[in-house]
Amino acid sequence: MKERNIEEHNAKKNELMEKCYDYYCENGLYGTGMKELAAHCGVSASNLYHYFKNKDDLIIESTAYCMEKVEDDFMMLAPEYQEDVIRFLNETPEWTAKKHGKKYRMMYQVYTHPKYFEHGKRFFEGVNQRYTEYAKMLEAKIGIPYTTITPLIFIYVRACVHYALFEDKYYLEAQIEVLKKAVRLFIAEEMSKSLQINSQG
C-alpha cells in the first residue's frame, strides 16, 4: 500500500473509530450491531469490516484510540507555571465531566467486561507511561520533580474521572483540597532547597 493510501486509510479508520465510540457512548455497548454503527457512520457494514476484523476489534481499538485523545485534551489544559497549578486543579474536573463524562463511563463498561479485561490492563499500562512523560514535561514548568508530580497526576486524574462518572462533589472536593496542600508544600520545599543552594554558593 502506497504511503498516501496508508495515510488516507488511517485517517478514515480514525474517523470511524470516533463516530462509533460516540455512538456507543450515546446508545450503550449492548444491542448495538455493526449495521447500526455503519448506518451512523454513513458507510456499509462491509466497509466497517474492511477496517476492523469484527465488532470486538472495533470496540477495543476505538476505546483505546478515543481515550488517548481524551488524555491529550486533558493535558492540553495542564499548568504552564507554578501560579497556574491551582487554576488547573479547580477548573479541570468540571470541564472533564462535561466534555468527556460519557466517554469515561463507556471506557469502564468496556474494560471491566471479562472479554476486554486484558486489553484494559494493557491500556492502563500505557496510561502509566504517558502520564509519567507528562510529568517530565511539567517538571520544567512548575519546578517540582517529575517523580513527585507523577503520583499527584494519578490521584488528580482518579478524582476527575470519579467525578465524571458519578458527579460525586464531596469526594472530588476532598481530593482537590489534599492535592492543593500537597502542591503548596512541595513548591515551598523546592524553593527552600533553591535558597539553601544559593546561600551556599
Alpha-carbon gap, residue 127 to 119, rounded angstroms = 12
Where is 57: in which H helix or E strand?
A: helix 55-76
- 30's CB contacts (< 8 A; 6+ apart) are none
- How is residue 192 written as a grid cell? 527552600
Q: Which CATH superfamily is domain 3-200 in?
A: Tetracycline Repressor, domain 2 (1.10.357.10)
- Residue in the structure block whose three cell numbers are 496508508: 6
Residue 131, number of CB atoms within 10 A of its CB? 21
Task: Give the per-residue pLDDT at 2.
Answer: 66
Which letter does DSSP use for residue 83 in this model?
Answer: G
- Residue in the structure block whose three cell numbers are 468496556: 110
Say whether pLDDT at 30 is over 90. no
- How is residue 104 written as a grid cell? 469515561
- How is residue 91 written as a grid cell? 477548573
128-164, pLDDT tens digit by residue? 999 999 999 999 998 889 999 999 999 999 999 999 9
Domain residue ranges of the chain, discontinuous segments joined by +: 3-200
- How is residue 56 written as a grid cell? 470486538
- How is residue 138 written as a grid cell? 511539567
Nearest to 16 by CA among 31, 2, 37: 37
Rg of the chain, C-alpha, whole Å: 20
44-84, pLDDT tens digit by residue? 999 999 999 999 999 999 999 999 999 999 989 999 998 89
Alpha-carbon gap, residue 119 to 40, rounded angstroms = 26
Say whether pLDDT at 88 is over 60. yes
